[in-house]
Amino acid sequence: MQDPLEQIESNVRGYARLFPAVFHKAVGSTITDTEGNDFIDFFCGAGSLNYGHNNRQAKAALLRYIQADGIQHSLDTVTAAKVDFLEAFERIILKPRGLDYRVQFTGPTGTNAVEAAVKLARKQTQRSHVVAFTNAYHGHSLGALALTGNQFYHSQFYGSHNNVTHLPFDGYMGDYDTSLLLEKMLDDPSSGLPKPAAVILETIQGEGGVNVSSATWLQRVASLCQQHGIHLIVDDIQVGNGRSGKFFSFEHAGVTPDIVCVSKSIGSGMPMSIVLIRPEIDVWKPGEHTGTFRGNNLAFVSARAVLEYWNDPSFEQQIEDRSQIIQKQLRAICAKHSDHSLSVRGRGLIWGLDMHCGDLASQTIRNAFNAGLLIEGAGASDEVLKVMPALTIETSLLQEGLQILESAVDAAINSAASRRSQTHTTVKQNVC
């Protein structure tokens, strides 16, 4: 399909190229274009739609709220919708997990939450250095960009690398435990690493290629932070809100970060971000970090509605059941194509099928799109297919989507094989 916005919208548009359709309606895990084509959604608004498109409970609450002329915009004044959300968040999410955090509302994007978290850690410790990790993705405003690994997003002219050191994430150096390197660098006064204000990490790197850190690595990093008086910031923007199988992705490891960034699915499709702060380090002066859109009451209303899922004791098991279905099918795809050494990793409902080749993954994404499935790539060269359906997807739709994915992989591998056999007799090309 021709891109109708080519002449109007900036060249920066990205997903419009990946999914060449004009989308129109969506319910649950199905999204429909203006030509009436349905797509199964394994993309999930890059992790913003964990509860599905137009989630029924959120939609009903929003309709009621708008119908009653509820406040829409409020900066950080107190509104009934905000009080409702905060009370429920504390009762349903924080208290049962034994977590004691203050909640800061930031501007509505993930990168806004990261900026606030890092600023607060710097202000409170009176140190400016931050440790981030290889393949990290924390957003694109200049502060957050400095923490983001992939060179594709950088330009030397942004001047954004100040005061950040990237160290190897878990698994980056094969079996070597990279927390030992962090330990050595922190212990050695001659390592060249200034004592950081914070260590920031994603427990599962989403954009970075679905890299899953182990519980022991996280525990070691958390205890190093504690020993050295460094704040541990967990960026749970993509893998929080149940994506990892539990509400917070760090619950599996039993660590308690000093600061947590939450965004994307918290508002169930409505823009909203929060930073959770250990009370002792909440040293902001009133109004010191502001933003016009910290008071999006429509987001408070939909966020409040979907918190109810976490009142259901069977919800985590439902996520796990879907997780098992995905793992099984992805492992079967790998076994079928054993000569291509594909690999699988993930947890909860974020899974990566590593094709070890960006071209092959791109071809698979195109094949999937043409057959009615939305899925995106991740990793340094987009070589990992990120399988990220809604937590609420019906199992039959999940299986249907996985079947489309399998056929898309088969077709991409077969066409690469046939191109390879042709190039043996013609000109050599880069076909992986």
Ligand X SMILES: Cc1ncc(COP(=O)(O)O)c(C=O)c1O
Q: In the complex, which residues of this chain contact ligand X (CB under 6 A)?
A: 46, 109-111, 114, 137-139, 202, 206-207, 235, 237-238, 263
Tokens 């030509």 locate to 35
How many angstroms separate the Cα of 177 from the Cα of each of 51, 174, 221? Answer: 35, 8, 11
CB of 185 to ligand X, least distance (A): 23
Give me the DSSP letters along 323-387.
Answer: HHHHHHHHHHHHHHTGGGT-EEEEETTEEEEE-S-HHHHHHHHHHHHHTTEE-EEESTTS-EEEE
Identify which of 162, 171, 110 has the alpha carbon closest to the alpha carbon of residue 135: 171
| Closer CB to ligand X, 134 or 363, in the complex | 134
Beta strands at 259-262 and 376-378: parallel, antiparallel or unpaired: unpaired
| Closer CB to ligand X, 29 or 238, in the complex | 238
| Closer CB to ligand X, 204 or 353, in the complex | 204
CB of 372 to ligand X, least distance (A): 24
Residue nearest to ligand X as judged by C-beta position: 110
Identify which of 4, 26, 145 has the alpha carbon closest to the alpha carbon of residue 393: 26
CB of 207 to ligand X, least distance (A): 5
| Closer CB to ligand X, 143 or 401, in the complex | 143
- Give the phi and the psi of residue 233 in degrees, each rounded to 5: -105, 120
CB of 181 to ligand X, least distance (A): 22
| Closer CB to ligand X, 211 or 323, in the complex | 211
Type and span of the H or E element at 164: strand 164-167
Helix axes 80-88, 297-306, angle to 10 degrees: 30
- Give the phi and the psi of residue 413 in degrees, each rounded to 5: -70, -40
Contact assessment for residue 233 and residue 267, using Cβ atoms and an 8 Å cutoff: no
For residue 351, the Cα-to-chain-centroid distance in whole angstroms is: 12
| Closer CB to ligand X, 160 or 363, in the complex | 160
Give the C-alpha separation, 19 to 5, whole Å: 13
Tokens 């850190």 locate to 213
Contact assessment for residue 106 and residue 273, using Cβ atoms and an 8 Å cutoff: yes
CB of 176 to ligand X, least distance (A): 24
Contact assessment for residue 211 and residue 165, using Cβ atoms and an 8 Å cutoff: no
| Closer CB to ligand X, 110 or 379, in the complex | 110
